[in-house]
Each structure stands twice: as C-alpha cells, then as structure tokens.
Structure 1
Amino acid sequence: MSDGANRLGSIELDQATLPSATAEIEHERRVAIFDLVEKNHFAPVGGGGGPYALKLSLQDSRLVFDITGPGFGKLHALSLTPFKAVVRDYIAICDSYYEALRGSSPSQIEAVDMGRRGLHNEGAELLRERLDGKIELDLETSRRLFTLITALHRRG
C-alpha cells in the first residue's frame, strides 16, 4: 500500500447517476474499487496530503471526480467522449477473451490477451493525459482507474 499522503483511502459511486447494472456488473465495480483502494498513487494538484476520498458520478457525459481530503476539496469533470472508442473496444475484446478461454487454443488466447492488454494500456495512458495537471497517477493506478471507468460503462 502507498503512504497516506498521496493515495485514495476510499471510493464511492453515485449510484443515482450511473447506468443500471446487473449483479455481475456490480461485482465488477466492487472488485475494481477494491483493487484501486488497495494499492494506488493518487495526488490531486493542490492537495495537502491524504488519504483522499473520491466520489465518482456521471453528469452530462462527464465523469465527475469529487475529491476530499484533510483540508482539501476539489471537483474535476472529465469528458468521456475521448474514451468512447477505447472503452467500447476494450469491452469487446474482454468479451472475446472470456469467450476464447472457453475453447480456443493457447496461442489464440494469448493473441487476444495481448490485444486486451494493449487496449488497457492505451486507455490508462489516455486517462493520465486527460488528468495531467489535475491529478497525478502512476501507471498502475491509471490502469485500475480505467478498469473502473470501463465497469461504469457496462450496462445490465
């Protein structure tokens, strides 16, 4: 776990603003949150130290980050438009990957997995670029946050 000064201590989802979800999608969201809180580097610009609490909501095609910490509070709205293609492609390749696990050869599974990892990295890098100057994230935190964003897009 990271030190308390630059990390997320909790994440809450504003369920009223999110698409409805099946039990499976709710589980994906909970796992993504657990993984993200378990290990992360999260440093909002101007923050005096954490741990930080993050509440995520969707408003007008934007992901709103409501960040609070000791003596700190900040809102950031992130347009999701630049993420549409990579999220759509990532969800599709994840579905292909799970399908491949059910009966494809090891080389086919490996090929799909390489594509899945590449899209995951692409989404994580895009997220870091879009949050540059607002929130500092390391690559692994960005990957975990992108996983959560993808889970928020899935509909039941």
Structure 2
Amino acid sequence: MKPFQILLVEDNEGDVEMTLRAFKTAEPPCSLTVAHDGVHALEILRPEQGGTPDSKVHPPQLILLDINMPRMDGKELLEVVKSDARLRHIPVVMFTSSESPNDIRECYERHASCYVVKPFNGKKYAQALHEVVNFWSTTSRLPN
C-alpha cells in the first residue's frame, strides 16, 4: 500500500514533533511533508511557481493546517487553496489550538473540510490525528 500523502502546515516545532511521532505508527502508513507557514506551503503546492526542494514530493491527499502562523496564516492559505482549481479538491483539516467560535465559523465559510481543536495531552493528540487520517484515508473516497 502506498503511503497516504499529508502536508502539515504548522509553525510550532513541538507540535511538528508530536505529529511526526504520532505518524510513525500510523495505519495506513503516511508520508508527511512539513511547511512552517502558508507561504512555504504554497511553494510546495505550486512547484511551477518557484518551488522548493520539497516540491518533488507527491501532491498531498490531505492538508493539516494550523491557523496562527507568521507570513501567511492558516485562514489565508485555506482561502487560496480553495480558490485554486488545481488544489480545491484536496481536503483541508484545520488542526489548531483555537476554540474561537469566530475562527471555526470563518474556516467553514472558507470551505474547510473539518475543524479539529488540538488536544494538549500527547496521547489524545496522537489519537485525534489517527482518527482524522483514518477517516480521510480509508472511510472517505478522494479523487485521484
């Protein structure tokens, strides 16, 4: 089975490390590419527009997106992805610490596929990630 391709857009190194640890034992296997803000994510998603060494990776089947980041935040990136005909089919799961009703509403208005508040407990954090990825990789059907 080919690994499920995920783009994690997250500026907090601690959260990146917890995510990497969680995916070491993930079923199905996952291939994780990390972008540290929205600008970096667009370089990965649009390699024809400059690109980065990460641009060689397969297009993601899922984007895990934080909200609060420098340069371009998660809501801005979500809007760009969902307005790009080549990218809008990719599910975008907001995976963030914000419980703000305004953030939740704004993300769904910008066509987020799902909004998950990050648990602070390491085991619950990993469990939430596994549940999200399991749903998108096995339960739902995605376009090729």
Larger Rg: 1
The structure with the greater share of residues assigned to strand is: 1
What's the TM-score once normalised by structure 2's chain length?
0.30
The structure with the greater share of residues assigned to helix is: 1
Which structure carries more relative contact order (alpha carbon 8 Å, separation 6+)? 1
